[in-house]
Amino acid sequence: MNMHMEHPELEYGKTVGNAFSADPKFSLRDVEVYYGDTQAIKGISLDIARNEVISFIGPSGCGKSTFLRCLNRMNDSIDICSVRGRLELDGRDLYDPKQDVVELRARVGMVFQKPNPFPKSIYDNVAYGPRIHGLANRKAELDEMVENSLRKAGLWNEVKDRLDRPATGLSGGQQQRLCIARTIAVSPEVVLMDEPCSALDPIATARIEELISELSENFTIIIVTHSMQQAARVSDRTAYFHLGHLVEVNETNKVFTAPEHSLTESYITGRFG
């Protein structure tokens, strides 16, 4: 026993559990992220399977958001940030100079912590993505895309009569669902969610979680969350990050009933944080 007191040294690049998949959507090997001289991500290797929901948990500053942002190169805009290692989406290198960032982000959409609708109408918010990517040729086609996305996001019935009203007039939960609709309007293959419910009340949170379960049929979803209950509720697999290490990845059920690593155990049972 005795695993409770001793914190085994975090071994560089060592992850316990079940980090690999036979048919990965994302294949990430020895990923390292540096902010200037500080290393934020320490040699993480992980596969993310097709159409799975995987959640990243861990204490603040453990690198889970940083790691998430590598997956659609949102870190590119930070000058001092550099990413090393091999990151592949469907076998293609994400950081290949030939890989177009705009195209990548159309495939790997992102939903942020705070609902951030554009200060435009509800319709324009959802139509923005299809418009800039030229996905619809006619108005009718665009209308259909907007309706589909809003339906998938479970928002259609609430907003169908006021599509031309400003999106900022919606409630926080509705705004976040609108942001999800906006993201899925461009039919991405992967949706990254960075603490999507942290600013929402429990009912709105439940709606989003329900939505995540529904979306998981068509999308690969990677969600960073501070709520372990949320991770337990929505995800197939859970990954625990600690100080830039990926400590443990396993089936969510396993992680929350019998974690293999003592650090994971300490974190999820509320012994540090």
Partner 1 sequence: MTDLNTQAELVRRSLKRRYRKERRFRAYGIVAVGVALLALITLFSDIIGKGYTGFLKTTVTLEVNLDPELMYLDDASDKDALRMADFKAPLLAALRQELPDATTSREDTRALGGLLSGYAANELQDRVAADPSLLGTRQVMTFLAHGNVDVYNKHAGETAYSIKLTPQQQQWVDTLKANNVVNTEFNDILFVHGDSREPANAGVAGAMVGSLLTMLVTLLLSFPIGVSAAIYLEEFAPQNRLTDFIEVNINNLAAVPSIIFGLLGLAVFINLFGMPRSIPFVGGLVLTLMTLPTIIIASRAAIKSVPPSIREAAEGIGASKMQVVMHHVLPLAMPGMLTGSIIGMAQALGETAPLLLIGMVAFIVDVPDGLFDAATVLPVQIFLWAGSPELGFIERASAAIMVLLAFLISMNALAIWLRKRLERRW
Partner 2 sequence: MTTKQEQVYGDHISQQFNEDLSDLKSEFLRMGGLVESQLNDAVRALIDNDGHLAEKVRAGERVVDQLEMEIDEEAARIIVRRQPAARDLRLVVAVIKMVADLERVGDEAKKIAEFALSLSEEGRAPRGYVEVRYISNHVATMLHDALDAFARLDWELALRVMREDERVDEEYQAAARALLTFMMEDPRNISRCMAVMWVLRALERVGDHACNIAENVIFMVKGKDVRHTSVEEAEKLIHAKRK
* Residues at the site binding partner 2, with contacts judged by CB under 8 A: 1, 3-5, 8, 16, 228-229, 232, 256-262, 264-265, 268-273
Between residues 16 and 101, which has the closer beta carbon with respect to partner 2? Answer: 16
Closest CB 150 distance from partner 2, rounded Å:
33
Closest CB 225 distance from partner 1, rounded Å:
18
Closest CB 150 distance from partner 1, rounded Å:
15
3-state secondary structure of 17: strand
Closest CB 225 distance from partner 2, rounded Å:
14
Closest CA to 145 of 168, 169, 166, 129: 129
- What span, in angstroms and rounded, lies between the C-alpha atoms of 185 and 132? 12
CA 159 centroid distance within chain: 26
Q: Applying CB under 8 A, which residues contact partner 1?
A: 72, 74, 77, 79, 102-106, 109-112, 114, 116-120, 128-129, 132-133, 166, 168, 179, 182-183, 186
Q: What is the DSSP string of 28-66?
A: EEEEEEEETTEEEEEEEEEEEETT-EEEEE-STTSSHHH
Between residues 75 and 225, which has the closer beta carbon with respect to partner 1? Answer: 75
- What span, in angstroms and rounded, lies between the C-alpha atoms of 9 and 192? 30
Between residues 216 and 227, which has the closer beta carbon with respect to partner 2? Answer: 227
Write the single-letter amino acid at 218.
Answer: N
13 binds, among partner 2, partner 1, none (CB under 5 to 8 A by kind): none
Between residues 8 and 36, which has the closer beta carbon with respect to partner 2? Answer: 8
- What span, in angstroms and rounded, lies between the C-alpha atoms of 220 and 69? 15
